[in-house]
Amino acid sequence: MTKPFSGSYTVTVTPFTPGGAEIDYEAWQGFLDWQVECGVPGIIILGTTGEFLTINDAERETFVKATVDHVAGRMVVMVGTMNAHTPTAVRYSRQAQDLGADGLMIIPPYYYTPTEDEIFNYYRAICEGCDLPIMLYNNPFTSNVDMPAKLVGHLTKSFEQVRYIKEASQRIERIHAIRVESDGLMNVWAGQQVLESFKMGANGYVNPYGNYIPRASVKFVDWAYEARWDDVWAVQSVIQKFDAIITEGHPLYGHQCYSKALAAAAGHPVGDVRPPITTFESLGAEGRERVARMVPLMEELQSVVDAIEGRQAAAE
């Protein structure tokens, strides 16, 4: 096993050339360097935000290799290797390991609504096929199953590689239950609500906001480790304003195109999304108006973090 993972890991977008024709590697290198410069300790590629379902096998292999090679050990690289077909998930996981990834994030088999035995056998096959640390991903909104704490505990105690979970059920109390059921072995990472999740015992964060506000969304997790709740709230309260603007009239995963549009507004254009997700271009004036409302929030967060760090430096 590698050294323990901790901190705020950006679950990244995948950059595309115009029309989504290809992955844009020039844009990707600049984006990765920006993440490092902002102090991001790790990234997770090919997750939900990374549109993993739109990536073909040839693109996957090239993208994982290019990411690992360009990062060159400057931060942790985890790869989403989930698939509804168990042998394919095993193959993706082994491939990520062979290409030098540091860990995996894996949701249960989606679409089929698998039983707990089927979920267990899926993760067992992956653990038998590779040696990397595995972060379970509990997201009942996309996988169609909600892994209960008892099952997570069973997986944790059965497989040494399974020591992390992104808990995105939106049930904050689940964090404590997982820690109890796993005899304290499982590291629960927040999928939302950092302040509340850390107070319940979370010890990491899978962070979609890192695509456009990486510095602030790294800092408030650092402060959560120190139980600096007022400072955490100072950032989280602004992040909630992004959520309110993005979710008005949009489906649960309508955020991908905005993540990319806001990355561009931050100086790192990464293209638009691939279908069937709604493209930012198709939103027209509505999308541009919403981004115009969020750019000042990005600037506000910079000021908030500067003020908190300035106050801290003055006190030392």
- Helix (H/G/I), strand (E/B), else coil: 134: strand
Decide if 204 contacts 166 (C-beta within 8 A): no
- Cα separations in angstroms, 168 against 127, 143, 172, 264: 22, 11, 9, 27
Using alpha carbons, select from 265, 277, 269, 258 the residue that is nearest to residue 302: 265
DSSP-based helix, strand, coil % in the chain, nearest 5 = 55, 10, 35
**Is residue 166 annotated as part of the catalytic site, yes or no?**
yes
**Is residue 150 annotated as part of the catalytic site, yes or no?**
no
Which candidate in 166, 205, 209, 212 is catalytic?
Answer: 166
Using alpha carbons, select from 232, 287, 233 the residue that is nearest to residue 255: 287
Decide if 2 contacts 213 (C-beta within 8 A): no
Which candidate in 92, 122, 137, 212 is catalytic?
Answer: 137
Crossing angle for the helix pair 86-98 and 57-71, to the nearest 10 degrees: 30
Decide if 76 contacts 10 (C-beta within 8 A): no
Beta strands in 229-297 (DSSP E): none
Angle, CA of 32, 36 and 42, to the nearest 5°: 85
- Cα separations in angstroms, 124 against 90, 154, 196: 10, 11, 32
- The set of residues, in sequence order, having a beta carbon less than 8 Å from that of 275 and lying 6+ positions away, is 20, 54
Which residues sit opposite 165 in a β-bridge? Answer: 136, 188
Angle, CA of 103, 108 and 112, to the nearest 5°: 150
Q: Please list the active-site residues.
A: 137, 166
